[in-house]
Amino acid sequence: MEASAIENDAAARKAIADYICTLFEGPGNQQWYDGYEAVSQTRHALQCAQNAIVASAEERLVSAAFLHDIGHLIDLNGRDKFQSNTDAQHEEIGANWLGQWFPPSVTEPIRRHVAAKRYLCATEPSYHASLSLVSQRSLELQGGAMSAGECAAFEKIRFSADAIRLRRWDDYAKDPEKPLPNFQDVMAYIIRSVHVSAM
């Protein structure tokens, strides 16, 4: 790749990351996670990314951890849907939107992280009780615990194991007092995860 092409590639990656950054620095800082949790969307995203980093996850999964709830920031009517007992399907909204720039290894764990919650509720007896009250309520709107057939089908889906890892990081990313990683350090993961051929 010629030097000019490399420079253009780097500039395009940074432009995408900067655009995503505006969502988290704007609405994400002002909007409470899931509408009711004790942390903002941005704090939740940073904590989730930090959990992935501590787990020595691949860069693509650190990016997925940070971006997994971006659908809430794209669909600003999501809280109204939650209040009216409607599933906003933020995971589909976010994964589809991110698919403009990121590969399936980033977007598919995001798409499946709600399904992973349903799966874990069906396969781990203590899991449901570990969820926050808000997450328990949203579970009902999302279809509840999976059936045995749904669990078997989920296990065969590509990236389902990554979605389960993401789900666990997600569940432990709601602490209003937990120290946060540097925002720009996390953005570096995002920049490196952008799919070059998508630009």
Q: What is the DSSP letter of 194?
A: S
Q: Which residue has the higher pLDDT, 139 or 123?
A: 123
pLDDT digits (tens, 9 = 90+) for 88-133: 688 999 999 999 999 999 999 999 999 999 999 999 989 999 988 8
| Residue 6 reports pLDDT greater than 70 | no
- Give the dihedral of Cα atoms 105, 96, 172, 130; nearest 10 deg: -110
| Average pLDDT in the chain | 86
Confidence at residue 11, expressed as pLDDT on a 0 to 100 scale: 87
- For the chain, which residues make up each domain, given as ranges? 3-198
What is the rounded CA–CA span in Å between residue 144 and residue 161?
19
Rounded-to-5 percentages of helix, strand, coil across the chain:
70, 0, 30
- Which of 155, 165, 178, 140 shows the shortest CA–CA distance to 58? 165
How many other C-beta atoms can be found within 10 angstroms of the C-beta atom of residue 34? 22
Is the pLDDT assigned to residue 62 strictly greater than 80?
yes
**18-38 confidence digits (pLDDT tens):** 999 999 988 666 656 555 667
Question: Percentage of the chain with pLDDT > 90?
Answer: 61
Verdict on whether the full-model pTM lies above 0.95: no
Q: How many Cα atoms sit within 13 Å of 141 on the Cβ side?
A: 18
User: What is the widest separation between alpha-carbon atoms in the chain?
Assistant: 56
170: exposed, middle or buried (C-beta count within 10 Å: 0-12, 13-18, 19+)?
A: buried
Q: Say which range, 31-35, 107-111, 157-161, 164-168, has the weakest mean pLDDT.
A: 31-35
**Residue 150's pLDDT band (cuts 50, 70, 90):** very high
Q: Is 32 helix (H, G, I), strand (E, B) or coil?
A: strand
Please say if the pLDDT value at position 191 is more than 50: yes
**Domain range 3-198, its CATH number among 1.10.3720.10, 1.10.3210.10, 3.40.50.2300, 3.90.550.10:** 1.10.3210.10
DSSP 119-170: HHHHH-TTHHHHS-HHHHHHHHHTT-SPPHHHHHHHHTSTTHHHHHHHHHHH
Residue 80 has pLDDT above 50, yes or no: no
Question: Based on the number of CB atoms within 10 Å of its own CB, is 182 exposed (0-12), middle (13-18) or buried (19 or more)?
Answer: exposed
